[in-house]
Structure 1
Amino acid sequence: MTFLSLLAIGLLTGLTTVLFGFGGGFVAVPVVVWADASLGPDAVRVATATSALVMVVNAAFATAVTPRPVLAALRGSGPLLLLLAAGASAGALLTRHAPPDLVRWAFVLYVVLTVVDLLLRPGFLRPHAPAGTTRAAPRPLPAAVGVPVGAVAAFLGVGGSVLTVPAMRRAGHTMRVAASLANPLTLAIALPATAVFLAGAGSTVAADAAHGDLVGLVDPRAAAALLLGALPVIAVLRRRPPRVPDRVHAWTYVALLGAVAVAMVLSG
């Protein structure tokens, strides 16, 4: 996959960051698996690590340009953020040593189960009440979910938005607000995970020989291309956010997850 191809896909990554709170994970993982196919089984670990770095930058930038009144919904979430970071550190360490096929198929299974949950359980596609009736007093995510969400998100390289966006949606937020709040939560997960991935390779000797320019487990070339495409899109869309009907927004979220699951299967 060429640098220009990765740059173009970075544009999509920026779009998903703004619209769905995906800091890059669900798009970046299958894309980097394709880009680094020469690494063989280790490609999925490199993709997970590279995705974490992309998410740090995208989520940090998206959070910085999010209106303060929206971010105020996370006031008092310090314990949750700390536990997300702790779980992410453990998940990233596990990824470095887990069999690559386990990471790949866990990613696919996680996405498929999420899609099934969103389709069948009320509250996401069919909100219990109009979003505007509860947005003034949102129900915060419990701190207890921090460690498991952080661990799963870092292990798979997905950033956690696929858990946090539905949870905030079911708490009464619109898709737009839920996606915006997912970015600071993603940042809490991606920062420690990236530090673990950069600290050491943990890949096979064959992978190191085939791709000697890795930094730890991160492919800096792929990350740079994705970020160059994503950051301008985030800047533009945060200033002029697209007006998407809430129900269409929610259905598009589910459709995107399904497409990513298919892409991950085909990348194998």
Structure 2
Amino acid sequence: MFYVLLACFGCLSGITAVLFGFGGGFVVVPLLYRMLTASHGADDPVGQSAMHIAVATSTCVMIVNALIATVKHHRARNLIRHYVWPLGGFIGLGAVVGAIAAMGASSEVIRYGFIVYLGVTILDLSLINMSEPARPAEIGYAGVGLIT
């Protein structure tokens, strides 16, 4: 049953990623959190660390996707090195600071932080000018999201 649920939410994640430009973490983090707490219980160490595990899993997926996209853009010669490379230090510093903060934070703090992040993102998206109709290519990409 868990695998069927994971497959369904994987499809939902693909659809939301194509339609909205995001979706993986928004779908996967709550799903993993709920599945880990349901399967291991609140007293189990895995259940107590469920939010840490869910966010870390989503972060690992983002790192792999960002690396693949960066390599593809580098091969296509779309990157301007003197713009991109300075960002690497700030990304690394943010990763270290975030990891240290996450190790010291309780699962509840991480959970409420994620909820606030969702709220801010939803608010941000609701303020975007939606006056332009969807283009046919975007509608076609949404169909691809169903398959992936």
Letter in 1 for 2:100: L
Partners in 2 of 1:60 and 1:15 — Cα distance?
Answer: 22
Match of 1:110 among 77, 99, 117: 117
Q: CA deviation at 1:32?
A: 0.8
Letter in 2 for 1:57: V
1:22 matched to 2:22: yes
- How many pairs are equivalent? 130
Letter in 2 for 1:32: L
Structure 2 CA distance for partners of 1:116 and 1:16, relative to 1, 3 Å: closer
Taking the TM superposition and a 5 Å limit, the aligned residue runs for 1:102-181 are 102-120=109-127, 124-125=128-129
Match of 2:53 among 38, 46, 53: 46
Partners in 1 of 2:21 and 2:72 — Cα distance?
Answer: 13
Unaligned runs of 5+ in 1: 131-241, 250-268
Partners in 2 of 1:7 and 1:116 — Cα distance?
Answer: 28
Q: CA deviation at 1:11?
A: 3.3
Q: CA RMSD in A?
A: 3.6
Unaligned runs of 5+ in 2: 41-45, 143-148
What are the superposed Cα offsets for residues 57-110 of structure 1, whole Å, 9 maximum, x if unpaired? 3333455556937x4478612212320221022112211220111111111112
Normalising by structure 2, report the TM-score.
0.65
Taking the TM superposition and a 5 Å limit, the aligned residue runs for 1:237-256 are 243-244=137-138
Whose helix proportion is higher, 1 or 2? Answer: 2
> Per the alignment, in what secondary structure is the counterpart of residue 138 of structure 2?
coil
Structure 2 CA distance for partners of 1:14 and 1:116, relative to 1, 3 Å: closer
Partners in 1 of 2:89 and 2:23 — Cα distance?
Answer: 19
